[in-house]
């Protein structure tokens, strides 16, 4: 990947079927990458994303998996290697959000939140580190709540918080193979992931905190991910906080 382009590279996009991950999949394909479009429950969206890429002349394959299971993480990378011969870029957009007071949070909710947000991210990094080619790029998705002092998001922000340390450790441990590892932590983003946890008043508050009085758009974040995968090859071990809010769809 020394030439810093996505042309003919292989990209694994976990959660790559829809919303932010879907736009990363199609944008990478437009730049010439072969894309492994992972999904958990969004099978129809994954097929649609693969079709969109193929209709535009690109190559893609859909892979289902529950990435809280290490065996499924390994199968995802196996499929990438078996289908396209290797992996150059690995992006993990998986996440699960819950806004709930600590006093009301159950053990089951805690385990589910840390399973998707922390455990899946850890073993995705591990398997990416094992399977990715030299000069590869690994990018995880966090949240701007990592830098916030707020209530209600203990298991979401808390579940994503370890990613900063996983990222820094992996950046050091994989550096001798010229593999960069970074974390992109967007502000409140205008997707169906965000709204069920918030009141209309809080949505307006979040808008008021951003440029243009609008939530972060997925179009604000994809260029940052693309930059880290290409021209920004020297960034490693970093958490980036793109908050956007100014893109006109
Ligand atoms: N929207 C926001 O306000 C916001 C703000 C900052 C950061 N983020 C982060 O950005 C990322 C993308 O979010 P989004 O807004 O684009 O929403 P999204 O499409 O709902 O993203 C969540 C992804 O996680 C996947 N997932 C959930 N459980 C899984 C499991 N057990 N195994 C594997 N994959 C699983 C989902 O796959 P399926 O759909 O196939 O089940 C989905 O692709 C997330 O990591 C989120 O935390 C979002």
The pLDDT tens digits of the residues spanning 161-191 come to: 999 999 999 999 999 999 999 999 999 999 9
pLDDT of residue 2: 55
**Burial of 81 (C-beta count, 10 Å sphere; 0-12/13-18/19+):** middle
Catalytic site includes residue 110: no
The single residue listed with the structure tokens 């072969």 is: 34
Give pLDDT tens digits for 41-80: 999 999 999 999 999 999 999 999 999 999 999 999 999 9
**Intervals of the chain under pLDDT 70:** 1-2, 244-249
Report how far ligand 1's centroid is from the alpha carbon of 3 (Å). 30
pLDDT of residue 130: 98
Structure tokens at 100: 């709930």
Report how far ligand 1's centroid is from the alpha carbon of 192 (Å). 10
Nearest CA to ligand 1 atom 46: 95
The domains found in the chain, sorted by start residue, are: 10-240 (3.40.50.720)
**Dihedral in degrees, nearest 10, Cα atoms 248, 139, 181, 136:** -110
Of 25, 93, 192, the residue with max ligand 1 atoms within 8 A of its CB, to mutate for a pocket test, comes to 93
The single residue listed with the structure tokens 């850890």 is: 122
* 3-class SS of residue 237: coil
Report how far ligand 1's centroid is from the alpha carbon of 176 (Å). 31
pLDDT of residue 226: 98
**Dihedral in degrees, nearest 10, Cα atoms 114, 38, 203, 208:** 110
Of 96, 193, 209, the residue with max ligand 1 atoms within 8 A of its CB, to mutate for a pocket test, comes to 193
């Amino acid at each position: 990947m020394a030439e810093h382009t996505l042309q003919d590279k292989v990209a694994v996009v976990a959660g790559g079927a829809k919303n932010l991950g879907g736009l990363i999949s199609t944008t990478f394909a437009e730049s010439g990458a072969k894309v492994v479009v992972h999904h958990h429950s969004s099978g129809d969206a994954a097929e649609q994303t693969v079709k969109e890429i193929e209709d535009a002349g690109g190559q893609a394959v859909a892979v289902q998996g529950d990435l809280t299971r290490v065996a499924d993480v390994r199968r995802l990378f196996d499929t990438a290697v078996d289908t396209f011969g290797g992996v150059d870029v690995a992006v993990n957009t998986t996440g699960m959000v819950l806004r709930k007071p600590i006093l009301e949070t159950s053990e089951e909710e805690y385990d589910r939140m840390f399973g998707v947000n922390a455990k899946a991210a850890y073993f995705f990094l591990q398997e990416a580190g094992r399977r990715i080619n030299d000069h590869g790029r690994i990018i995880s998705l966090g949240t701007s709540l990592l830098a916030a002092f707020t209530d209600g998001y203990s298991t979401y922000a808390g579940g994503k918080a370890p990613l900063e340390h996983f990222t820094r450790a992996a950046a050091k441990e994989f550096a001798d193979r010229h593999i960069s590892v970074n974390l992109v932590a967007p502000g409140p983003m205008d997707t169906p992931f965000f709204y069920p946890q918030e009141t209309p008043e809080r949505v307006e508050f979040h808008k008021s905190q951003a440029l243009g009085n609008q939530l972060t758009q997925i179009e604000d974040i994809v260029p940052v991910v693309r930059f880290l995968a290409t021209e920004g090859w020297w960034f490693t071990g970093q958490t980036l906080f793109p908050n956007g809010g100014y893109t006109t769809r």
